[in-house]
Structures are given as C-alpha cells and as structure tokens.
Amino acid sequence: MSRVVRAVKGKIVFDEFDGTALAPMWEPFPLDLSRYNVMTPDVIELIAGGTDFMLLWNEKKEYVFDVINNYFPMGVTDFSGIVVFRDEQENVEFLEFWDTDKPVTSVYKYMRVKKEDMIYTFYAKNNDVDEWELIHSTNIVGKGRIGLIIKGESQDNYQVDAVRIYQSNNIRLINIPPEYTVYLYDDTDAILGSYIVQDQQQGARFIVDKIPPYSCRFKIYNEENTLVHTTSLFMDMCGGDIYYYGAMPEVYYEGITLFNDNEFFLGYVTNDKLDFELEVVNPWLHDFFNLQMSALKYNDGSGYKYVEFSLDEVDYEKTVALGDLLVGERKTVYVRIQKAIEEMAYEIGPLKFQIELTFE
C-alpha cells in the first residue's frame, strides 16, 4: 500500500501581523519606528508622514508575493501598495490609488507579484473568487528587495491584513508511474486540474492560483483508469509544495513522525552542543536499500551547517550511511548540533534545518 506525503514545503514566510512587534523578516526604510503600527490585531498600518516609507524583505531568485489589503484610499494624493526596490533611484511601484471614475468597491483587495529570475509580473483582483487580472510585466536586473510602501504625499494610512510569500503557484506530485492520471480536487470536490504522467520522477504538476493556504486532495488512477489512491485533505497546501507517492521509511522524533512536516523544538544548545535521537522505521512489506541521512538548508537558515549524524555516538559525520532497512526493522540515529561559542554570538533566533533521507 502506498501513501502521499509532503516532501518539500513551498511556504517561504507568511506574516499575518498577529503579534505586537514587527516580524524580523521586515526592514523599515527609512528606519523610523513612528511610521508603522502593529498594535491593531491582525493588521499592520503604514503611517502617512510626508515622505515615502517602506517595509522591505530580502528577495529570493523566484517566489510569489501576495498582499491582502485592508485599504481604501479616499483622496487623490493617496498612493500605497507594493514596491520592488533596488535603491532610492531605481524601483518599481505597484500602487493602489483613488480613481475618481470608479467606486470605492473597485479597490484591489488582493495584489500579487510573481518573480521568475529577473521577470516580475504583477496581478490584482477585487474579490477572492475573481480571476487574477494581469497588470504589468517587466524585467528588473539584479537582486534586491520587495515590500510594502506608502507614498509621501498620502494622507490616509495604509493597512494590510497579511503578506504571504511562497516558492511558486505550482503543486507537484512525484514518483507516479507513467500513464497514470492524477486529479487535484479542492475542499468542495471541484476539480482544479488533471495530469497524465509521462515521467515518473517529474510526476504531475498543477497550477493553482489560490492564495495559500488552501485545502486540496489528490486522486490517482492507473493506466486502465482504475482508482488506486485517494488522499485525505491536505489542510495547509501551498504553492511550491512537492508531494511524494509511494512507500518510504518513516522517521520519528520522540515517538512523533516527522512526516507531518511540522516544526519540532529540539531544545537549547548548551555547552556548545545539543544531542537528540531519531528512529528510522520500515513498516512496509518490502525492504529499502542504501539509506543515507543528512541535513538540508531550511529557507535562508544556517542551522544545517552544524548538524552531524552517528550510528554509534562516537563518530559523527555530515551524512551517515544506514545501510539497508529490512521489513519491520528499526534503526536509531544519533544527531548532534554543535557550534563554537564564538559562532553563537552571530546567530539570532532558532537554528532551523530539514532532514533528508535517501534510499533505493
């Protein structure tokens, strides 16, 4: 029997502005703490103040940047929205403004920037059920920042409910045999797409234009059009997610499977190290061969660089070979996070990483 698990998360960072401090992802520009307010629950407010003010995020090579506005410009000098920023002389602004020829209900509540290499494409829509409207596409050279902006001439403050950044608007299901057909359904059982698989490793690919997170399920049919697998709803699906179909060894931390792809608090680094154990289990009716475990980078974090593995608590290495895992077999892997004391002074926040387990 096979199953579907999420192998790669597409989510980069979501900010719902539900705290009482500005999230560390943002850099105010210029640095003026009086120009934003995070004290209103579930909203951030950029304050009008006579000069342009921005909250900027260091961008990646590719991503989707969604903004959910809570903003109704009421004067002809009100301009706020998204900025792609290189420097004070070079940037691209995607602004909401008061159009005297349109009713206030025509304001774009949803704004999107999709970046692919150096191509930036801008979209917007008024309501969640609307199709995205293509606004503009442009080429901007170099790596920079993207974020929120309120223009200096604005009289009304700019309010935003959420910013959600993720890898792409693609959902992939890999390790599907050729000639199988995969359907993607939303939580109302409406079909979002179907895909006939040609290459097992490339699998099925779907374009989903919803703002994440959203709930979907897969149905998989074999080459004879017989239903062979239906998943339960994935409640927090996100663009850029990659799902894996098939059997694989299971990895446990303190009796909890890592396949639910949540974050796990492992403890605090004391005396320059932290030790913990993982258990690798084969619950299936066939063997797995040549298992190897290592740590992978998680978003922009550096935590993976300090992780080593061992089978005997003596020799630790970046990648540990577990050998074969037979039916019903369990193996314990000892994991150590170790850093020099002087390195820790330069780390702010938790050390995050992912576990990679490869096999044949």
Q: Where are the domains of the chain?
A: 11-166, 169-246, 250-358
CATH class of the structural domain 169-246: mainly beta
* Kind plus residue range of the DSSP H or E element containing 181: strand 181-186
pLDDT 10s digits, 280-311 = 999 888 899 999 999 988 776 778 888 999 99
- Residue 251 identity: V
For the segment 177-194, the average pLDDT, to the nearest whole number, is 96
CATH class of the structural domain 11-166: mainly beta
For the segment 28-37, the average pLDDT, to the nearest whole number, is 94
Residue pointed to by tokens 């369990």: 330
Picking from 168, 167, 181, the residue whose alpha carbon sits closest to that of residue 245 is: 181
Say whether pLDDT at 324 is over 90: yes
Say whether pLDDT at 241 is over 80: yes
CB-count exposure of residue 243 (10 Å: 0-12, 13-18, 19+): buried
* Residue 19: how many other CB atoms lie within 10 Å: 13
Distance between CA atoms of 52 and 148, rounded to whole angstroms? Answer: 11
One fold for both 169-246 and 250-358? yes
Say whether pLDDT at 217 is over 90: yes
Look at residue 260 in the predicted model and tell me its pLDDT: 60
What 3-state DSSP class applies to 87? coil
Say whether pLDDT at 346 is over 60: no
Which residue would you say has higher pLDDT here, 271 or 169? 169
For the segment 87-93, the average pLDDT, to the nearest whole number, is 85
Highest-pLDDT range among 42-51, 83-92, 269-278: 42-51
Quote the percentage of the chain above a pLDDT of 90: 61
Q: Which pLDDT band holds residue 340 (cuts at 50, 70, 90)? A: low
Residue pointed to by tokens 């059982």: 189
Distance between CA atoms of 179 and 194, rounded to whole angstroms? Answer: 12
What 3-state DSSP class applies to 2? coil
Distance between CA atoms of 63 and 342, rounded to whole angstroms? Answer: 34
Q: For the structural domain made of 250-358, what CATH number should be given?
A: 2.60.40.10
Sign, CA dihedral 145-148-154-155, equals negative
Look at residue 292 in the predicted model and tell me its pLDDT: 94
Highest-pLDDT range among 124-128, 181-185, 253-257: 181-185
Say whether pLDDT at 43 is over 70: yes
- CA dist 344 to 45, 296, 307, 317, 318, Å? 34, 20, 14, 21, 20
pLDDT 10s digits, 106-163 = 678 999 999 998 999 999 998 888 999 999 999 988 778 999 999 988 888 999 999 9
pTM of the model: 0.81
Q: Which pLDDT band holds residue 100 (cuts at 50, 70, 90)? A: low
Picking from 299, 312, 308, the residue whose alpha carbon sits closest to that of residue 349 is: 299
Say whether pLDDT at 341 is over 60: no
